[in-house]
Amino acid sequence: MGMYLGIGRKARRAYGLDEIALVPGEVTINPNDCEMSWSLGEHHFPIPIMASAMDGVVDVQFAIAMGKLGGLAVLNLEGVQTRYEDPSGVLAEIANASNEDATRLVQGLYTEPIREELISKRIEEIKDSGVLAAVSSIPQKAERFGRLAADAGADIFVIQSTVSTARHISSEYEILDFKKFCTEMPLTVIVGNTIGFKVSLELMETGIDGLLVGIGPGAACTTRGVLGIGVPQVTATIDCSAARDFHFKNTGKYVPVITDGGMSTGGDICKALACGGDAVMVGSAFARAEEAPGGGFHWGMATPHANLPRGTRIRVGTTGTLEEILYGPARLDDGSQNLAGAIQTSMGNVGAKTIREFQLTELIIAPSIRTEGKVFQQSQNVGMGK
Amino acid sequence: MGMYLGIGRKARRAYGLDEIALVPGEVTINPNDCEMSWSLGEHHFPIPIMASAMDGVVDVQFAIAMGKLGGLAVLNLEGVQTRYEDPSGVLAEIANASNEDATRLVQGLYTEPIREELISKRIEEIKDSGVLAAVSSIPQKAERFGRLAADAGADIFVIQSTVSTARHISSEYEILDFKKFCTEMPLTVIVGNTIGFKVSLELMETGIDGLLVGIGPGAACTTRGVLGIGVPQVTATIDCSAARDFHFKNTGKYVPVITDGGMSTGGDICKALACGGDAVMVGSAFARAEEAPGGGFHWGMATPHANLPRGTRIRVGTTGTLEEILYGPARLDDGSQNLAGAIQTSMGNVGAKTIREFQLTELIIAPSIRTEGKVFQQSQNVGMGK
Amino acid sequence: MGMYLGIGRKARRAYGLDEIALVPGEVTINPNDCEMSWSLGEHHFPIPIMASAMDGVVDVQFAIAMGKLGGLAVLNLEGVQTRYEDPSGVLAEIANASNEDATRLVQGLYTEPIREELISKRIEEIKDSGVLAAVSSIPQKAERFGRLAADAGADIFVIQSTVSTARHISSEYEILDFKKFCTEMPLTVIVGNTIGFKVSLELMETGIDGLLVGIGPGAACTTRGVLGIGVPQVTATIDCSAARDFHFKNTGKYVPVITDGGMSTGGDICKALACGGDAVMVGSAFARAEEAPGGGFHWGMATPHANLPRGTRIRVGTTGTLEEILYGPARLDDGSQNLAGAIQTSMGNVGAKTIREFQLTELIIAPSIRTEGKVFQQSQNVGMGK
Amino acid sequence: MGMYLGIGRKARRAYGLDEIALVPGEVTINPNDCEMSWSLGEHHFPIPIMASAMDGVVDVQFAIAMGKLGGLAVLNLEGVQTRYEDPSGVLAEIANASNEDATRLVQGLYTEPIREELISKRIEEIKDSGVLAAVSSIPQKAERFGRLAADAGADIFVIQSTVSTARHISSEYEILDFKKFCTEMPLTVIVGNTIGFKVSLELMETGIDGLLVGIGPGAACTTRGVLGIGVPQVTATIDCSAARDFHFKNTGKYVPVITDGGMSTGGDICKALACGGDAVMVGSAFARAEEAPGGGFHWGMATPHANLPRGTRIRVGTTGTLEEILYGPARLDDGSQNLAGAIQTSMGNVGAKTIREFQLTELIIAPSIRTEGKVFQQSQNVGMGK
């Protein structure tokens, strides 16, 4: 397995979502007979779709709307929502910045300190509406913010960094003990992002409840360009799903794999699930909702990094309500709306009654659809003149 | 066979029409000595080209013109022709809509109910001209519309859905029994779309007369983007042709394979036939005919879907008469005109006297021609200034 | 050897010039010590570069200029030069036509009958200047025009069609007997175009003096789009060169392989020679010469085809004199000028003293250079604003 | 190893930086605990980054600034700095030239003879600032200019040509004896550019102190287009690093490999080091510094070639100070700033404490990030209208 890059050095070929397609089944099923629900810890959700902890996507109102529609949105505890009592002005500033100034502006606005009372307040606002509250921080802040979140009534805590492993080394700060955190905190714990069988297995063995998979593939993420690091999502999801199944056979505990990043259409989401994902975490697709606080703009969690920003603010536009994006009716034919309907229809066409059957779909390696139709478009110009 | 996408998960590499080319023969033949006729059930056609059941392509007048020229056009029984007594106004509205509004508009116009008397009327209009009448519907409507079509004198009935299999499951509606349909209806029956050896074989065993091959590759189709599903046409056509040959050896019944979707030039059509197709079904190339009702616009059959549209209205322009598109003289050099001449010339160059010989052409995997010549075009800009 | 395209059907992977690169040698040589001359029949040329028999490239004056500079230009006996006493007006019309009208116009202008006295006249004009006269026709006209050309004093006759084989079949016209033609005509005979070991060998066995290699790759050629036929030039040149070497071992007769089509830069030409070519035939690069009759425009020999044009008129601009294009000084850095200097420099860098050593250069498969540098160009836009 | 290009001819697949990515480690490290220093001969540098000997990048002031920041910049002894007492006017002329005229202008300006007293002067100016002085020439001038440089106090001498081997052949001029040069000159000697295990080993055996790796990949270089020659940087760096390790095992002398060309972002640099490079030499990224003499323009060392220019003047813009480019804070998120920070962060994420550990990073073959996100961008246009 692997190809020679040069003398004595082999590498695996990794695959991205653009490079594969799902093969229709020998049996097809009426989509309405297909069931796409999933479980995370003690929680059960009708649709396998989460919204990313990104400031252009999730605020309190968005989290409530998402929860009421059967999904789960994660609020970033280190973003504008916990730095500003009223972040609306700051969000408008970011939306109005020019492309040249956006990164610099975001860097500046995120130097405002985090106010712990806002952490509690945001969580309470979400809980007051009757939906689950999910929040996130980086590992170094997890101990402190996890405690605050638990006290405020949060249900799910996401510990997220560019690359997460169970074994981190530092001479400067204390390392988060995932095992201790999972045992002591009365919270469902998701950790990420990660790739690879072995690292996933080590993280699952610490007792976490869910794993975020994906390093470097997101639309608002420039990790691969800046650091050279990244693993395409097909290979990442398959490898981590193999770890999940191995861990389940050994321990009886099923730790769901949540593919995170790089999916902008229903087709991408279907592929991630068919590769073994139990759910997906989506950013840019939701940044286009009328409910999204970014006002049609979207930026990654590493964009504000003071010294080495690894994300970019992109304009995604506002194309419909969150309900339309999740359940349709789709007004666009590009796969960006009615994501739940797309999953169910795709499941029906490949003949999968449940997500776990969907995870076994036959995949093919296929040339990207994104370059098709070119000759046609060229030749049509000739005809246009008529 | 297959490559690892990740741990424990292999996938076949599938190929698209852009990725292959035909290898010229060791013997070449004067094209006029090459014969490209084919048979479907009891019907015989001089050219192996069908026009898709799409509302921008086929109406009664187009079907008549196509029949008189030796081809076969399929009229969609669930489109504007059976919903509107005079669809010309509706077609003009679609042509005049902006890109933003097109999908929404099409969705609305297709909520008008189908009028059964128009089904009979359209078929009779075609039959009155003396050519064969071919019509189509989805499986759920096939029983009812098939009966009506047969009564009205139709010759060929096409049962078409995004993904067709012989075994469909639903708790909500009754499943069409292809075997019963083929036995009871006094019609030549074509079923599609499908891919894969096993599904093709199962469908052929139900007694159908022709098979439409292709899921996800058409120019006006966004199935792969929306659902993640799709199989490139080279692999799909080869696999289904293998099923046809296997079925023929077992039963003595030859069920022609009709490659449908993703072909916009004579070159694409030649490749589909050389991959094993007995005929092709073409949409966008005919949407450019002066006779096409779409007025230079084209949209897929899933575009009107109320909740999850999977097609797009594209502008193709009007470039010539149907006769020019089929037989030339070509006024464009892009392969979009004189499709029959292209087939015959290609057959001559690879040394194939009949379509069945053409199906055995040596194929090569070759880098797409569509990106060639770029350096030249760049450097020519430098020269332009002179 | 080969990969599965589908069930039971394998195909070779063929390679184009864009996909390979030459590997520098373990020894390098001062380019001035490298010798790039070649022989065709009894003729010897200092540079391995021919100009294509295309009407935008070669007229009498161009052929004379090319001959005096050490190259060889082929005059098309079925183009405007033999249909019009003074073709300058016709050439200007083509240059001034819009993109939409160009093919149609060319089709019309080439319906003017060929005047045999002009064949003799053009050849005599070339011969009067003291250089070799090379002319071309399709196989069906070769018998008649070859006789006329020989009588007028021509030295080299090129029999050229889209796909040439030693075994052609037609019920309508008599087949050219290459063996008889080569024996009876007092001319050096080049035949093409072809690809493949076996066909090349069969053609060489008829007694021809040179072989044109390449089907479908040229910049002004749309054979692959229109007919689906084409073999990329790396594989085509290597296969035909293998036939040449095999034929030479068997018979002692060395039939040079001339790669024709798809080369627009010095780099492309170097690759074709390193793949085994003895010389190259170039069209578009010479259409840019001040001496070229096309006035900065270029069109393929199949463009005028009345029913199925398979070529396109492209604007290439005029960038320098023929001498600059062949020998420099290059004023452009894109590889389109000083083609001879590029060959010599490349030979030096791979350590080849002669073309026959150059034919043994180590090749690598390398990602196309044509898409490199994109990130840089994108990010530079950000900086531009400063 | 290798694939058939055609009958009897195999080729290796070589890989470029765009085609690979680094795999995060099983252990991660706090970047501040990662050490990226390297040694060249007796010199030690805190960061593994050199600036190319290109006239748009390095003059005396730039070399001083680079040295003070811990890097090393090489001054070209055959460029404008040694041809003109005050090159500022010449540099402004180049910056102001149109794209059409740039190559021609550069050709002309470089015909001005080199003045040897300026060689001494430039070196002394650099030395006066207290940093190391590194200068370069082609092999033919190395004997003469090396002597002058040593006398003026230079520390490092770079002998650079398009393709360097230990065995060059010429009937016209005397060949540089690398062994003699290294022995006799009181200078640290770097030689390049080269690729391949065997050539690298032969060059290392002559006693050189560092090797420049890379032929044809640079942004301002058109070697592959003009000559057809080039080896992508992943394969080149891996092969030459294998030679370095082999030579070290045999002799105990460690000759650092410096990857040169084709890297424009921190991600590219990280990949080159992870492929085995000890350091990188970067051109275009530094041409964007406020300190760069090119004023936002950049051109290759072969651009001035009188007869066969193989480089191009490109506009890169000015985006920040040299300090920002090396150490941040990055104001751009595209990976072009804070290159040292990117290396350290990448090392931390793959779990490498030193550059030599970084050289052992697991690599994967991954589809280029440069084409990702396209569907999203297309569909967003639809939303834009809202």
From the DSSP assignment, how many helices (H) and strands (E) are in chain C?
16, 18
Residue C83 reports pLDDT greater than 80:
yes
**What are the DSSP calls for B159-170, one per residue?**
EE-SS--SEEE-
Residues 6+ apart with CB under 8 A from B132: B43, B67, B72, B155, B156
Structure confidence at residue A276 (pLDDT): 98
Q: Which residue of B has its CA nearest to A375?
A: B370
Touching A: which chains, 3+ CB pairs < 8 A?
B, C, D
Q: Cα dist. C228→A317, B21, B334 in Å?
A: 41, 6, 12
Structure confidence at residue D158 (pLDDT): 98
Preceding peptide of B329 cis, ω within 30°: yes
Residue D64 reports pLDDT greater than 80:
yes
In chain C, residues with a C-beta closer than 8 Å to the C-beta of D16 are 366-367, 372
Helix/strand/coil for B258 = strand
Q: Which of B1, B4, B9 best probes binding to A when mutated, by most A CB atoms within 10 angstroms?
A: B9
Walk me through the domains of chain A, giving residue ranges and CATH numbers: 43-320 (3.20.20.70)
CA distance A277 to A267: 14
Nearest Cα of chain D lies from the Cα of C267 at a distance, in angstroms, of 4
Structure confidence at residue D108 (pLDDT): 92
Cross-chain residue pair C275–D224, CB shorter than 8 Å? no
Residue B133 has what DSSP assignment?
-
Residues C103-155 have pLDDT tens digits of 889 999 999 999 999 999 999 999 999 999 999 999 999 999 999 999 999 99
Pairing of strands D3-6, B279-282: unpaired
Angle between helix B139-152 and helix B116-128 axes, rounded to 10 deg? 50
Cross-chain residue pair C342–D202, CB shorter than 8 Å? no
Matching residue, tokens 């084919």? B38
φ, ψ of residue C224 in degrees (nearest 5):
-70, -40
CB-based contact (8 Å) between A374 and chain C? no
Q: Roughly how many angstroms between the first and final C-alpha of chain B, as a whole number?
A: 55
The predicted model scores a pTM of 0.93
The encoded tokens of residue D69 equal 């920041």
pLDDT band at C330 (very low <50, low <70, confident <90, very high): confident
In chain A, residues with a C-beta closer than 8 Å to the C-beta of C100 are 382, 385
Residue C367 reports pLDDT greater than 90:
no
Q: Give me the residues of A, 260-299, that contact B with CB < 8 A.
A: 265-271, 274-276
CB-based contact (8 Å) between A251 and chain C? no
Nearest Cα of chain B lies from the Cα of C380 at a distance, in angstroms, of 19
Residue B384 reports pLDDT greater than 80:
no
Burial class (CB in 10 A: 0-12, 13-18, 19+), B171: exposed
Supply the mean pLDDT for chain C: 91
Average pLDDT for residues A340-362, to the nearest whole number?
97
Average pLDDT for residues B56-64, to the nearest whole number?
98
Ramachandran sector of residue A299 (left: φ over 0; alpha: ψ -120 to 50; beta: rest): beta
3-state secondary structure C68-81: HCCCEEEEECCCHH
Q: From the list C169, C226, C303, which residue is nearest B265 (CB)?
A: C226
CB-based contact (8 Å) between B214 and chain C? no
CB-based contact (8 Å) between A310 and chain D? yes
Nearest Cα of chain B lies from the Cα of C347 at a distance, in angstroms, of 22
Higher pLDDT, C240 or D374: C240
Residue type, B26: E
Integer Rg of chain A from CA? 21
Q: From the list A21, A28, A235, which residue is nearest B165 (CB)?
A: A28
Cross-chain residue pair A226–D267, CB shorter than 8 Å? yes
pLDDT band at C381 (very low <50, low <70, confident <90, very high): very low
Q: Are B326 and B340 in contact (CB under 8 A)?
A: yes
Q: From the list D99, D225, D382, which residue is nearest B100 (CB)?
A: D382
pLDDT band at B221 (very low <50, low <70, confident <90, very high): low
Q: Give me the residues of D, 217-236, that contact B with CB < 8 A.
A: 225
In chain A, residues with a C-beta closer than 8 Å to the C-beta of B219 are 372-373, 376
The encoded tokens of residue A68 equal 């009421």
Residues listed for chain D: 386
Residue C386 reports pLDDT greater than 50:
no
Average pLDDT for residues D207-226, to the nearest whole number?
84
Structure confidence at residue D216 (pLDDT): 82
In chain D, residues with a C-beta closer than 8 Å to the C-beta of A168 are 27-30
Count of A-D CB contacts under 8 Å? 237
Cross-chain residue pair A382–C225, CB shorter than 8 Å? no
**What are the DSSP calls for B341-384, one per residue?**
HHHHHHHHHHT-SBHHHHTT--EEE---GGGTTHHHHHHHHHHH
CB-based contact (8 Å) between A331 and chain D? no
Q: Which residue of A has its CA nearest to D349?
A: A163
Q: Give me the residues of C, 40-79, that contact D with CB < 8 A.
A: none
Ordered alpha helix ranges (H), D26-168: 60-68, 80-83, 88-96, 99-109, 116-128, 139-152
CA torsion angle A45 A46 A48 A49 (round to 10): -90
Angle between helix C60-68 and helix C116-128 axes, rounded to 10 deg? 30
Q: Roughly how many angstroms between the first and final C-alpha of chain C, as a whole number?
A: 55
φ, ψ of residue C35 in degrees (nearest 5):
-120, 120
Least confident range from A32-46, A355-369, B28-42: namely A355-369
Detail the DSSP E strand segments found in chain D.
3-6, 9-13, 20-22, 27-29, 38-40, 43-45, 49-51, 72-76, 134-137, 156-160, 167-169, 188-194, 210-213, 257-260, 279-282, 297-298, 314-315, 363-365
Of residues C375, A216, A231, the one with CA closest to residue D332: C375
Nearest Cα of chain B lies from the Cα of A25 at a distance, in angstroms, of 8
CA distance D77 to D177: 20
Cross-chain residue pair A14–D366, CB shorter than 8 Å? yes
CB-based contact (8 Å) between A183 and chain C? no
Detail the DSSP E strand segments found in C176-299.
188-194, 210-213, 257-260, 279-282, 297-298
Q: Which residue of A has its CA nearest to B233?
A: A366
Residues A26-36 have pLDDT tens digits of 999 999 999 99
CA distance B258 to B277: 6
Cross-chain residue pair B224–A369, CB shorter than 8 Å? yes
CB-based contact (8 Å) between C97 and chain D? no
Residues 6+ apart with CB under 8 A from B125: B60
Residues A143-178 have pLDDT tens digits of 999 999 999 999 999 999 989 999 999 999 999 999
**What are the DSSP calls for C303-369, one per residue?**
TT-SSS--B--EE----B-HHHHHH---S-SSS-S-HHHHHHHHHHHHT-SBHHHHTT--EEE---G
Residues C50-73 have pLDDT tens digits of 999 999 999 999 999 999 999 999
Pairing of strands A314-315, B210-213: unpaired
Nearest Cα of chain D lies from the Cα of A231 at a distance, in angstroms, of 7
Nearest Cα of chain A lies from the Cα of B291 at a distance, in angstroms, of 15
Q: Which of B338, B379, B381, B384 best probes binding to C when mutated, by most C CB atoms within 10 angstroms?
A: B379
Q: Which of B269, B349, B376 best probes binding to C when mutated, by most C CB atoms within 10 angstroms?
A: B376
Residue D383 reports pLDDT greater than 50:
no
φ, ψ of residue B275 in degrees (nearest 5):
-80, -5
Helix/strand/coil for A209 = coil
Residues B169-202 have pLDDT tens digits of 999 999 999 999 999 999 999 999 999 999 999 9
Cross-chain residue pair D329–A107, CB shorter than 8 Å? yes
CB-based contact (8 Å) between A26 and chain B? yes
Q: Which residue of A has its CA nearest to B287?
A: A380
Q: Which residue of D has its CA nearest to C267?
A: D228
Give bridge partners of residue B27 from the DSSP assignment: C167
Higher pLDDT, D382 or B313: B313
CB-based contact (8 Å) between D377 and chain C? no
Q: Which of A1, A3, A4, A5 best probes binding to D when mutated, by most D CB atoms within 10 angstroms?
A: A5
Nearest Cα of chain C lies from the Cα of B317 at a distance, in angstroms, of 13
Supply the mean pLDDT for chain B: 91
Average pLDDT for residues D131-155, to the nearest whole number?
97
Pairing of strands B43-45, B38-40: antiparallel
The encoded tokens of residue A284 equal 């840019």
Angle between helix C197-204 and helix C233-251 axes, rounded to 10 deg? 40
Helix/strand/coil for B321 = coil
**pLDDT more than 70, % of chain C:** 94
Q: Cα dist. A234→A94, A196, B64, B378 in Å?
A: 33, 12, 49, 35
Of residues A357, A352, A273, the one with CA closest to residue B228: A273
Of residues B233, B220, B225, B297, the one with CA closest to residue B260: B233
ipTM over 0.90: yes
Cross-chain residue pair D100–B385, CB shorter than 8 Å? yes
Matching residue, tokens 């659902």? B227
Average pLDDT for residues C334-359, to the nearest whole number?
96
Q: From the list A271, A367, A376, which residue is nearest B16 (CB)?
A: A367
Q: Which of C201, C372, C377, C386 best probes binding to D when mutated, by most D CB atoms within 10 angstroms?
A: C372
Cross-chain residue pair D342–A165, CB shorter than 8 Å? no
CB-based contact (8 Å) between C237 and chain D? yes
The encoded tokens of residue C282 equal 């170039």
Count of B-D CB contacts under 8 Å? 8
CA distance A111 to A90: 12
The CB density around residue B381, as the number of other CB atoms within 10 Å, is 11
